[in-house]
Each structure stands twice: as C-alpha cells, then as structure tokens.
Amino acid sequence: MEVREQENAISVRDVTKVYRLYDKPVDRLKESVSFSHKNYHRDFYALSGLSFEVKKGETVGIIGTNGSGKSTILKIITGVLTPTTGQVDVNGKISALLELGAGFNMDYTGIENIYMNGTMMGYTRKEMDAKLQDILEFAEIGDFVHQPVKTYSSGMFVRLAFALAINVDPEILIVDEALSVGDVFFQSKCYRRMEEIRKKGTTILMVTHDMGSIIKYCDRVVLLHKGEFIAQGPAGRVVDMYKKILAGKLEDLKAELEAQRTAAVSEAAPSGENADAGRSGGLLSDFFGGMDVDSLVADQVAKKEFLSGDGAGSAPAAYKGLMRDQLTINADRTEYGDGRAEIYDLGLIDARGNITNLLLKGEEFTIRECIRFHADIPAPIFTYTIKDKKGTELTGTNTMFEGADIKPVKNGDEYVVEFTQKMTLQGGEYLLSMSCTGFEAGEHVVYHRLYDVTNLTVISNKNTVGVYDMESQVKAEKRNTDE
C-alpha cells in the first residue's frame, strides 16, 4: 500500500499517563480528606512523553515487554482513557478491537451490541442494517447472536468483536492482541480480511506479542519499554531490537541508538574531525567488536578496510585469509553480546567447496562459524537463523537442538562449528544470522550475536509454491477407462 506522504491518521504528541499508586486502600481516602493536602501516593508513569505518528494507509505495530504501555496508548488513542498530559489527534473513523469485552454490554444480545456499537461509531440504524449480514456471516456464531453476550465463550466473543470491528468500514482499525484468541481457522480468516482492508487503504495500528504477524503485516513498528519510546523503524529491524531487550541488553541498545543518532547528526552536517568522531562512535558496538575501546577503534579501522573491499594488500594481517573476505557482509547488520565469545569469522560453502553467497537450490551447503572465547564457558550453544527480507524467521537450528557434543571452553579457546544441510528454500534473497549463546543459572545469555550478517542468494532451476521445497516424490499413474 502506498502511503500518502504527510497525511497523519494518528498523531501522538508528548503523551504521559500517570497513575497514582497507594500502598493501602485507606491512603486514598486519607489523601482526599487531608486539609494539608498531604500526599499518600506514589506516581507511576505508565507512559512518559510518548510521541509518534501513523500516516494514512500505514500499518503500524507497537511492541514491547509486558507493562510497557502498549494497551494504555491504544486506549488513549481510542478515547477510553485520557492522557495526564500531551495530545492525541485522530483523523478518521476509528474501529477498535481492544481487550476482550471492551465496548460490549454484557446483558445485551450479540445483535443489540452490534447496533449499540454502530451507533457509537456514528452509523444510523439503516446503515447498520446493511452491514448486519456481513457481520453475522463473518462471526459464524449462529443463533448465539440472540443470546446475551455474557453467555459467550471467549472464542465466540472475539468472533463477534472482530466481525464487528472489521465490517464497519473503519478508516482506522486498532487491534490489541485480540487475534491470539480464537481457533487457527478464524485467526487466518481475520488476517486475510485485515490484509483486504489494508489494501483498500485503511490505517491499521496493532499490538501483538506475535512477532511473525508484526513482520508480516507492519510497514513500521514502534518499540516501547516501561512507558518510554525506544525506537521506531522497519519491522524486522525493530523486532531484532526488541529481542535485544528480551536478552537483557536494553542499555547496550540505548547506547547504540544514541550513537546512531549522533552519527546521523554528524553525517547531516559533516565538519572535519567531528564528523569522523560521530561516525566511529556509531560503529563502536558494531561487528566483531572487542571489549576495550582502543581495540574496538582499531578493530573498526580494520573493519572499514575489510568492508570497503580494498583487497588483501591493504587488509591488516589479522584479517588475511578470512572466509568473510570472500562474502558480502551486511554493513547494516545488528550485533551485540557480552563479549565473552567473539564470532571472528564466518563462511558459506557450496557443494563444490567455494566460499560464496550464491547457493543452488537442491544442493548441500555449509554454514561455518569460527568463535574465539574470552572467558571460561561451561556449555556454549552455536546457532544460525535464516530470515526472508521482511525479517520472518524461515528456519534455523543450534548445537543444542541438534544434540551436538560441545565441550566446555576456556579463555583463549576457539571453536569451528559447521552446519551442513541441503538448500531447500525457493530461489530468492535471504539473510543469515548467527550467535554464540548459553544458559547460566537458568538465564539465557548472549555471548555474541550477529543479526543479518550476510545474505544467501538461492538460485533455483525448479519452482515450487511457497517458501521451501519439500522435495515431493511424484507418482502419477494413468488409468484407462476401457481396461
């Protein structure tokens, strides 16, 4: 869907939502009757100074860990909640699917609720009469529409709520996690319908914990954490940032984003030394980074030469003969980890032993990862993931899933890990990610992770349907009717 520039469907400006929290219920009463206006509460910021915009026709996702304020901002946009400070402007007729049951009167029947919601959206009874059949057909809850909704199962509820929200021709559709309820067939029907209305130009704002849907449907994603705006951008990239938060790397992420901002500012106004300082700052947490700043800067200098493809002549000795020199390495990759392991080289090797990004469908290939350890680690895990261009994880595995015999390592040890498999993906462009991780005291630890570090170009001389080829064996027997 082409986004019409400049026209905002939703504009959220500096929105803050503060809740007053009282340790005991009686404190609320004490505060309300206190002559000296004594405070008995603590302020809790469910949202702090949040700003973002949704353009007309865009599908935008909001993601973040539990309690990050996703539902709160949706409720403010739909007018269910008022912000403590800040402003929200909405340009268009909103239809919202908030938490289960919101907007429904439990004692009314399904039909009565349909008409009540229609009236609230500004439709006349006659207009709703015209929409009723579509809503009922979509909901498929049969005679239950004549029963009070308090008798509905959660699945029936979501069927009716979604059927209603999506069949009233909204200009803006807001969906909060609701699709996780209901059976798989209904969910897939809802997604198909959402795709249809998206193509018609409806603006969609959605909250979900399902990263697959975020990547598949969203043009742009806003990442929140504890009520604060962290980042926004293309879905695949922001989902990777979110995973970083899940891996306990919020501070690293913030530092990286700050460095990127500084680099962007310096690049916008390059002025001698400052511009360079900004740029190298942006790279500090980047690819193959060491632990101390001096070696990091040296590493970045080396990396720049390596990436600029100056050839072996100009590459520092440490990088001579590395497999990655023969691959296209993504300058825009994401990298993090606590530095106890370092993936210092990687290779993609085709069936003839060539190191190459070009792989033939149907042939075996190997992903090779070379890891150096800077600490003792009892049980490292080595992984790879292949994603499509939109960021959907198509396949991947790791040495733990595969039951590989991985020994404990000491500081200074190295591991070379190879994953060999047949390329069954369809012809096209894919991205490879890899990491060295582990579990310590039950916690998942990332020692070094490289997202989208290189590409796989799959060449195919036989097309099949979908993402990959199951290599079907076909048996077809012609039977003559006269035999």
Q: List Cβ neighbours of 421 (8 Å cut-off, separation of 6 or more).
A: 364, 365
* The pair of three-digit structure tokens given for residue 79, joined into one six-digit string: 């007018």
Determine how β-strand 393-398 pairs with β-strand 381-387.
antiparallel
| Among 59, 68, 202, 437, interactor with ligand ATP by CB under 6 A | 68
The CA-based dihedral angle spanning residues 394, 396, 402, 408, taken in that order and rounded to the nearest 10 degrees: -160
C-alpha 285, offset from chain centre: 21
Does 70 engage in binding with ligand ATP (CB under 6 A)?
A: yes
| Residue 18 Cβ vs ligand ATP, minimum distance, rounded to whole Å | 9
| Residue 178 Cβ vs ligand ATP, minimum distance, rounded to whole Å | 12
Measured from the CB atom, the residue of 71 and 78 that comes closer to ligand ATP is 71
Does 66 engage in binding with ligand ATP (CB under 6 A)?
A: yes
Site string for ligand ATP, 235-274 (x = CB under 6 A): ----------------------------------------
The rounded distance, in Å, linking the Cα atoms of 258 and 443 is 27
| Residue 73 Cβ vs ligand ATP, minimum distance, rounded to whole Å | 7
Q: Which stretch binds ligand ATP (CB under 6 A): 33-41, 62-70, 275-283, 335-343?
A: 62-70
Measured from the CB atom, the residue of 27 and 195 that comes closer to ligand ATP is 27
| Among 12, 58, 59, 71, interactor with ligand ATP by CB under 6 A | 71
CB 224 within 8 A of CB 70: yes
Measured from the CB atom, the residue of 66 and 82 that comes closer to ligand ATP is 66
| Residue 255 Cβ vs ligand ATP, minimum distance, rounded to whole Å | 24
Helix axes 235-246, 250-268, angle to 10 degrees: 140
The rounded distance, in Å, linking the Cα atoms of 358 and 410 is 35
Helix axes 110-120, 125-139, angle to 10 degrees: 130
Q: Which stretch binds ligand ATP (CB under 6 A): 69-77, 257-265, 343-351, 377-385?
A: 69-77
Does 208 engage in binding with ligand ATP (CB under 6 A)?
A: no
Size of the site for ligand ATP (CB under 6 A): 11
Does 69 engage in binding with ligand ATP (CB under 6 A)?
A: yes
| Residue 174 Cβ vs ligand ATP, minimum distance, rounded to whole Å | 13
Residue numbers 17-56 binding ligand ATP by CB under 6 A: 19, 44, 46
Nearest CA to 134 out of 91, 165, 178 is that of 165
Does 159 engage in binding with ligand ATP (CB under 6 A)?
A: no
Measured from the CB atom, the residue of 72 and 334 that comes closer to ligand ATP is 72
| Residue 72 Cβ vs ligand ATP, minimum distance, rounded to whole Å | 3
| Among 64, 83, 170, 438, interactor with ligand ATP by CB under 6 A | 64
Measured from the CB atom, the residue of 96 and 409 that comes closer to ligand ATP is 96
Which value, in Å, is the radius of gyration of the alpha carbons in the chain? 27
Measured from the CB atom, the residue of 80 and 111 that comes closer to ligand ATP is 80
CB 59 within 8 A of CB 199: no
The rounded distance, in Å, linking the Cα atoms of 400 and 92 is 50
Q: What is the largest distance, in Å, between two alpha-carbon atoms of the chain?
A: 103
Burial of 393 (0-12, 13-18, 19+ CB in 10 A): middle
* DSSP 3-state of 308: helix
Measured from the CB atom, the residue of 209 and 372 that comes closer to ligand ATP is 209
Q: Which stretch binds ligand ATP (CB under 6 A): 70-78, 261-269, 337-345, 423-431?
A: 70-78
* DSSP 3-state of 125: helix
Q: Measuring CA to CA, how many Å separate 140 from each of 77, 143, 151, 194, 342? A: 30, 9, 16, 17, 54
| Among 29, 67, 274, 421, interactor with ligand ATP by CB under 6 A | 67
Does 347 engage in binding with ligand ATP (CB under 6 A)?
A: no
Does 72 engage in binding with ligand ATP (CB under 6 A)?
A: yes
What are the respective helix, strand and coil percentages of the chain, to the nearest 5?
Answer: 35, 30, 35
CB 172 within 8 A of CB 95: yes
Does 6 engage in binding with ligand ATP (CB under 6 A)?
A: no
Residues lying near ligand ATP in the complex (CB under 6 A) = 19, 44, 46, 64, 66-72
